[in-house]
Amino acid sequence: MREKLKMKKYSVDNVIRMFLALNTIKWDSPTISAELESYFGSPETIDEFAKHGLRFTDGRDLRNFLKKGRLTPISEDTLKEVKNFAFSTKDIDDKLSDQTYSQSYKELEHKLERGDINLQAPIIVEFNDGSFWGFSGRKRAYVARKNGVEVLYFLVKQPQDEEGDKREDGDQEDIQKDKME
């Protein structure tokens, strides 16, 4: 008697994920000057940095701080501690419900479908108190994680002697104005 071949049924999403897993991402150090808006354009990031004694009034000082980072993998346990990054598949799906956000995510995913790609590593800052902040590159991390590709992060550790700008927390508007000048 003939044995019937049993074929496992896969959803379209699962087939795409299996295909994408064959492709890889080469992680490059980020172009720091291209990432500055993640600070100057985000009052939430300015506030978080200020809580840790970091205030940057111009791109030069921020570049000097960020360029001290290095490419490294980060453990799952540590990633769970990163503020303002979603790392579970459900959290990523929730983030992608935003149409503007999901469009650029889909563009990255389509590039990965077509083959290996190079991306700039997401930046994560580790403050002196041991807390973490996702500075930039969330979509890049989400594309990789959701498709089973290992992520290298550009980890920037706050130096023990880093003091930043000495202005009071309420002077964020002045910091923004200085950046624009």
pLDDT tens per residue across span 84-93? 876 666 666 6
Q: At what angle do helices 99-114 and 138-146 cross, to 10 degrees?
A: 50
Contact criterion met (CB below 8 Å) for 157 and 65:
no
For 21-167, strand residue ranges (E) read: 25-28, 70-72, 82-83, 117-120, 123-126, 132-136, 153-157
Q: Identify whether the C-beta of residue 113 lies closer than 8 Å to the C-beta of residue 20.
A: yes
Q: Mind listing the pLDDT tens digit for each residue in 36-57?
A: 999 999 999 999 999 999 999 9
Query: Which of 21-25, 26-30, 83-87, 103-107 is predicted least confidently?
Result: 21-25
Percent of the chain with pLDDT over 70: 66
Q: Once rounded to an integer, what is the mean pLDDT over residues 145-159?
A: 89
d(CA 176, CA 55): 11
